[in-house]
Chain A
Amino acid sequence: MRRLAAALALAALVFAPARADDRRSGYDYMSPQTRAMQDDDAANPAMLWVLDGEALWNAAPAPGARACSGCHGDAPKSMKGVAARYPAFDRALGRPVDLEQRINACRTGRQHAAPLRSESRELLALAAYVALQSRGMPIAVEEDDANRAAVEAGRAIFERRQGQLDISCAQCHDQYAGKRLAGSVIPQAHPTGYPLYRLEWQSLGSLSRRLRACLAGIRAEPYDYGSRELVELELYLMVRARGLKMDAPAVRP
């Protein structure tokens, strides 16, 4: 039996496509210590936000309003795989929206509550709780007829030189990925774990915050939170990372 399994494994190796997928998530570049921190739910500080998110999920945003769970029920069931499909195209708006925008759209449209501020603890907590339900699932953002224009716009932003340093995202994250920028390894920019806990921030943060920090780093004017450009860039990155495993809520250095 074992010999058969070994033979099958060997056959799989031999017949695998010649060029393996060389995409690596940020997790693969981390030190064993930081990985251990992410892998242990008792050590991963992002789980503190998840606890808040679970409470918010089950709480009415205002007296008389419905909680998230009032419509969506149990998040582990209803939200399974959802974060792996965002940013998703919103037909009513005619543009893609990211997970945080979807949560806020639900709050204002269905719960008749005030939208949550970008990067607020509440919004990050809800996003982290929803994202947790996709942990281990492959990113499933597809390029289709509806979102093609937005994906292309995101790709154009990714490849366009900008800022005073006059470099593009692609130059660092495609061309020089795996090399070092000062002491840090340049990752391939696959957003597998957002919202995630960055040790540098000492807090949870969204993909938008990460992208804005990157833009400030190349001395470009960061796009505003919730702007079309940021969502297009997020969308392109998720299409680019399609198939990689979600590890949200992750820890990154």
Chain B
Amino acid sequence: MARALIRVPARAKRGEIIEIKALISHTMETGFRHDQLGVLIERDIIKLFRCTYNGVEIFRAEFFPAIAANPFITFTTLAQESGTIRFEWSGDNAFSASESAPIAVE
């Protein structure tokens, strides 16, 4: 089970710049490492992170093997309207996780 920690301000003023943080637990196995017997450990990474604000994509990031384990993304956006900010991660081995947080804009 993938754990994620997200931080979205519960309320904001219209037009305000808000900071959003998203941290997810994932090994981000590079695919370049070998185990103790010399066998290649298969790549297992998150490949795509998406964030939508009331269904509109506001941020997207592609991840590659050089991204550390438990990737942490932080970015800013403009508070426009009340609603839901949704986070989606997807990657190797059909990995898929999502979280969402409400925001009240006044």
Interchain CB contact under 8 A, B70 and A42 = no
- A48-B23 CB under 8 A given contacts A41-B5, A42-B7: yes
**Interface residues of B, CB < 8 Å — how many?**
14
11 A-B residue pairings within 8 Å (CB atoms)? A42-B5, A42-B6, A43-B23, A45-B23, A47-B23, A48-B24, A51-B3, A51-B5, A52-B3, A202-B28, A202-B70
Chain B residues touching A, majority SS? strand
- A78 interface residue per 8 A CB criterion: no
- A42-B69 CB under 8 A given contacts A51-B5, A52-B3: no
Interchain CB contact under 8 A, A202 and B5 = no
Interface residues, chain A, CB within 8 Å of chain B?
40-43, 45, 47-48, 51-52, 199, 202-203
- B54 interface residue per 8 A CB criterion: no
- B68 interface residue per 8 A CB criterion: yes
Which chain B residues border A42 with CB–CB below 8 Å? 5-7, 21, 23
Give 18 new A-B contacts, CB below 8 A, not counting A43-B21, A48-B25. Answer: A42-B7, A42-B21, A42-B23, A43-B23, A43-B72, A43-B74, A45-B23, A45-B25, A45-B70, A47-B5, A47-B23, A48-B3, A48-B23, A48-B24, A51-B5, A52-B3, A199-B68, A202-B70
Which chain A residues border B25 with CB–CB below 8 Å? 45, 48
Which chain A residues border B6 with CB–CB below 8 Å? 42
- Distance in Å: Cβ of A36 to nearest Cβ of chain B: 11
Encode B1-35 as 1/0 by CB contact (under 8 A) with A.
00101110000000000000101110010000000
- Distance in Å: Cβ of B55 to nearest Cβ of chain A: 24
